[in-house]
Chains A and B, each alone.
Chain A
Amino acid sequence: MTAPGSPSVFLVDDHALIRSGIRAEIAESVHIVGEADEVDAAIELICERRPDVVLLDVHMPHGGGLAVLEAVTRACPATRVLVLSVSDAAEDVIALIRAGARGYVTKNISGPDLVEAVQRVAEGDAVFSPRLAGFVLDAYASGATQVDDELHQLTPRERQVLRYIARGYAYKEIARELGISIKTVESHVSSVLRKLQLSNRHQLTSWANERRLI
């Protein structure tokens, strides 16, 4: 019942209700190749079935999404991970993005939006939720990402794109507003993701902690 060429997806979440909910919402548009409710099983099955995209929950017993993400990135780098979580905590978001996730969306995302996000990640692009865009802007504005060279700073255009995402614009709408193609929007977001992954770990962590603790 899925269209040919649709991405294969693996679900990792320790709540069965959530898994079946996600399954119901996206099963028609993507090919779900399996699901797991714990870290070890997830790693094993993902490496065995090699899906295009893993939909990963953050909070699970025994290491959580981070453990799965790290193992999968090491063992089968071709598989891309999209984090799907209820957590809004800056440290969760930043830790997973830095560990190699291609995007972060929250579970209140609508079915069609989730399918679009999965397809985007399967094609190698990045997916930012408005909240993640807000976090990134905040981290860069607070100087948490100061690095030695200018290369890792955001360009004005990237900042502009992030602002549109935070304002709730879809990629398509951003492309229209800025008079550029969707591909260009995607490449700006991917470039932000790459810069985020390369920037100083300590500073980002302490930014995330400050947001939480002070």
Chain B
Amino acid sequence: MRTSELRGDSGFTRIARRPTDCKDLTIATTTTQGVDGTAAEVGDATPTPKTSRRPHRPLVRADDDAVLGGVCAGVARRFGLPVRPVRVLAIVSIAPAAIGLLAYTACWAVVPRDGEDKSVASRVLSDRRELQIVLAVSTVMLAVLITLVAIGVQGPGAFAWPLLLSSAGVLCVWRGASIDERERLQARLNTSPLVGAATATSWRTVLLRACIGGALVVVGAALLSKIGELRGAAVGVMIGIVSVTAGFLMMFAPWWLRTLRDLSNERRQRVRAQERADVAAHLHDSVLQTLLLIQKSATQPAEVVRLARNQERELRHWLFDPPYRHVHADGADSFAAVASDIERDVEEDYGIGVELIVVGDCGLDDALRALLAAGREAAVNAAKWSGTTSISIFAEVEPETVSLFVRDVGVGFDPEAVGDDHKGIAHSIVERMARHGGRATIRSAADAGTEVELVMARATTP
């Protein structure tokens, strides 16, 4: 039941059904193998010999106890320290040339958040568009800094470079944070004083913001008006411009933020509407047709059951099954995909229910194709002869072996005594498995059902 069977004739393509995750989805698809690989490595590396007493925990940013990025809480947790001193230390270390700030943003960008397997930086790096945005803005900031230095402004001094780098880091975080983290940051921003766009309607905040903004504008204007009277007037000009800009920003930021948010809400709603239209199209295409067919064949109970079951399976695949099970890396069908074909074919051809459970998945080679062919034979056999309404297929892909069980609780037979069709088919299953170095065991007893167990060693262990 792992693969999704879409109707080939409907020309309908499946879309990601979680609109907010669309971006993550595209990133994830390109690096599936890498994520799995690294996750495994991290897992293997956990018990380092260095700290034999305490199990080694990788440094992750805290997600529950975070003020900004959860770096301090994460560090404190990793080294078993109380959180507060770590935070104080981080703030104090801003003073000597903004080292703390730089270290903080660097950690924010590079260290993954608790529960996420990719860091902000790796997310930005793997998305060309985000990378371009970060690079572009960073270059603009660099240009501004160089201009300032060129015209002899010593204002930022030793802080200039760390500030530039940390701004780039913050930008990186803003573009590359996961949906989860971004929502948390936005909530934090909305409740913070001055910026809080969500609370912009309260009179006190509006008044406070207007006062500070107004004061900055006045100071800026006053400084600008003195150009030429004093030496080093350029400094005044710069400070003036910055003050004016800051003043305007402070006055208009909330409206600006709100507009941005409205835009993104609007986009989200559009995606949602699109998704709804797709679902409706799918329902119309297949479910309504099936209902029509059911009405037409109301006099044939078996046909009604068959139609209902087919539709149920199709809808279920469409709703719950991940599309990636369809094909394996090189475009060929994967083990689970073929197993799901067996499920579909047997259900359709014999009108009985098949419960298919597949654990794990892998690519196919000749031996595994033989295993699946034998499994199909066993399932068809069970469907034809068992006399029950449903059979179970369980397949498990393990590192060394692949096993497949086909079971029914039907009439059964005595494997030793019977020399009829059952035995012929049983023989062909056993022989097919033996040819490829596998093993087939058939357990059956009269009135106790039948189970066929197929085991095949995997040729190459990845």
Determine, out of A4-12, A23-31, A36-44, A129-137, the stretch whose residues face the partner at the interface.
A129-137
**B348 part of interface (Cβ distance < 8 Å):** no
Instruction: Please determine whether A89 and B359 come into contact, CB atoms closer than 8 angstroms.
Output: no
Instruction: Please determine whether A167 and B394 come into contact, CB atoms closer than 8 angstroms.
Output: yes
With A167-B405, A206-B115: A148-B1 Cβ-Cβ less than 8 Å: no
Chain B, Cβ-Cβ closest to A209: B21
Chain A, Cβ-Cβ closest to B321: A88
**A212 part of interface (Cβ distance < 8 Å):** yes
Chain A interface, >50% SS class: helix
**B181 part of interface (Cβ distance < 8 Å):** no
The proximity string for B residues 19-35 relative to A, scoring 1 for CB distances below 8 Å and 0 otherwise, is 00100110011001000
Q: How far is the CA of A205 from the CA of B117 in the complex (A)?
A: 12
The proximity string for A residues 174-214 relative to B, scoring 1 for CB distances below 8 Å and 0 otherwise, is 00000000000000000000000000011101100011111
Instruction: Please determine whether B322 and A142 come into contact, CB atoms closer than 8 angstroms.
Output: no
Residues of A within 8 A of B322 (CB): 210-214
Q: How far is the CA of A212 from the CA of B25 in the complex (A)?
A: 10
Residues of A within 8 A of B21 (CB): 213
Q: How far is the CA of A64 from the CA of B29 in the complex (A)?
A: 30
Instruction: Please determine whether A213 and B115 come into contact, CB atoms closer than 8 angstroms.
Output: no
Residues of B within 8 A of A214 (CB): 25, 28-29, 32, 322, 324
**B193 part of interface (Cβ distance < 8 Å):** no
Instruction: Please determine whether B359 and A134 come into contact, CB atoms closer than 8 angstroms.
Output: yes
**B97 part of interface (Cβ distance < 8 Å):** no
Q: Which chain B residues (70-113) contact chain A, with CB distance < 8 Å?
A: none
The proximity string for A residues 130-160 relative to B, scoring 1 for CB distances below 8 Å and 0 otherwise, is 1101100110011100101100000000000
Chain B, Cβ-Cβ closest to A134: B357
**A21 part of interface (Cβ distance < 8 Å):** no
Residues of B within 8 A of A141 (CB): 359-360, 398
User: Which of A90, A205, A214 counts the most B-chain CB atoms under 10 A from its CB?
Assistant: A214
**A98 part of interface (Cβ distance < 8 Å):** no
The proximity string for B residues 329-368 relative to A, scoring 1 for CB distances below 8 Å and 0 otherwise, is 0000000000000000000000001010111100000000
Residues of A within 8 A of B46 (CB): 146, 148
With A149-B55, A166-B394, A213-B18: A143-B39 Cβ-Cβ less than 8 Å: yes
Q: How far is the CA of A88 from the CA of B355 in the complex (A)?
A: 12
Residues of A within 8 A of B29 (CB): 214
Q: Which of B39, B115, B360, B394 contacts A163 (CB 8 A)?
A: B394
**B275 part of interface (Cβ distance < 8 Å):** no
Instruction: Please determine whether A138 and B320 come into contact, CB atoms closer than 8 angstroms.
Output: no
Residues of B within 8 A of A130 (CB): 355, 357, 392, 394
Residues of A within 8 A of B24 (CB): 213
With A130-B355, A142-B360, A168-B355: A148-B55 Cβ-Cβ less than 8 Å: yes
Instruction: Please determine whether A166 and B357 come into contact, CB atoms closer than 8 angstroms.
Output: yes
Within the complex, the shortest CB–CB distance from A176 to chain B, in Å, comes to 10
**A87 part of interface (Cβ distance < 8 Å):** yes
Chain B, Cβ-Cβ closest to A170: B409
Within the complex, the shortest CB–CB distance from B13 to chain A, in Å, comes to 16
A-B contact count (CB 8 A): 86
Q: How far is the CA of A203 from the CA of B25 in the complex (A)?
A: 18
Residues of B within 8 A of A88 (CB): 1, 316, 319-321
Instruction: Please determine whether B316 and A134 come into contact, CB atoms closer than 8 angstroms.
Output: no
Chain B, Cβ-Cβ closest to A202: B115
Instruction: Please determine whether A205 and B320 come into contact, CB atoms closer than 8 angstroms.
Output: no
Residues of A within 8 A of B320 (CB): 87-90, 212
Chain A, Cβ-Cβ closest to B448: A173
Within the complex, the shortest CB–CB distance from A15 to chain B, in Å, comes to 15
Residues of B within 8 A of A131 (CB): 1, 355, 357
Within the complex, the shortest CB–CB distance from B114 to chain A, in Å, comes to 7
Q: How far is the CA of A149 from the CA of B57 in the complex (A)?
A: 12
Instruction: Please determine whether B316 and A133 come into contact, CB atoms closer than 8 angstroms.
Output: no
Residues of A within 8 A of B391 (CB): 168
Q: How far is the CA of A138 from the CA of B394 in the complex (A)?
A: 12
Instruction: Please determine whether A143 and B43 come into contact, CB atoms closer than 8 angstroms.
Output: yes
Residues of A within 8 A of B57 (CB): 148
Within the complex, the shortest CB–CB distance from A183 to chain B, in Å, comes to 23
Q: How far is the CA of A191 from the CA of B132 in the complex (A)?
A: 51
Within the complex, the shortest CB–CB distance from B183 to chain A, in Å, comes to 16
Q: Which chain B residues (1-53) contact chain A, with CB distance < 8 Å?
A: 1, 16, 18, 21, 24-25, 28-29, 32, 39-40, 43, 46
Residues of A within 8 A of B115 (CB): 201-203, 205-206
Q: How far is the CA of A130 from the CA of B391 in the complex (A)?
A: 12
Residues of B within 8 A of A86 (CB): 316
Instruction: Please determine whether B43 and A146 come into contact, CB atoms closer than 8 angstroms.
Output: yes
Q: How far is the CA of A90 from the CA of B358 in the complex (A)?
A: 13
Within the complex, the shortest CB–CB distance from B347 to chain A, in Å, comes to 13
Q: How far is the CA of A202 from the CA of B64 in the complex (A)?
A: 12
Chain A, Cβ-Cβ closest to B325: A211
Within the complex, the shortest CB–CB distance from B281 to chain A, in Å, comes to 21
Q: Which of B16, B40, B319, B359 contacts A137 (CB 8 A)?
A: B359
Chain B, Cβ-Cβ closest to A144: B39
Residues of A within 8 A of B123 (CB): none
Chain A, Cβ-Cβ closest to B55: A148
**B127 part of interface (Cβ distance < 8 Å):** no
Residues of A within 8 A of B18 (CB): 213
Instruction: Please determine whether A89 and B394 come into contact, CB atoms closer than 8 angstroms.
Output: no
Residues of B within 8 A of A206 (CB): 115-117
Q: How far is the CA of A90 from the CA of B409 in the complex (A)?
A: 27
With A88-B316, A167-B392, A167-B405: A213-B28 Cβ-Cβ less than 8 Å: yes
Q: Can you list 12 A-B contacts (CB < 8 A)?
A: A86-B316, A88-B1, A88-B319, A138-B359, A143-B40, A148-B46, A168-B355, A168-B407, A206-B117, A210-B28, A213-B21, A214-B25
Closest 6 CB pairs of A and B: A168-B392, A202-B115, A134-B357, A88-B320, A167-B394, A89-B320
**A residues at B contact (CB < 8 Å):** 86-90, 108, 130-131, 133-134, 137-138, 141-143, 146, 148-149, 163, 166-169, 201-203, 205-206, 210-214
Q: 4 other contacts beyond A134-B358, A167-B407, with CB at 8 A cut-off?
A: A130-B355, A134-B357, A167-B392, A213-B25
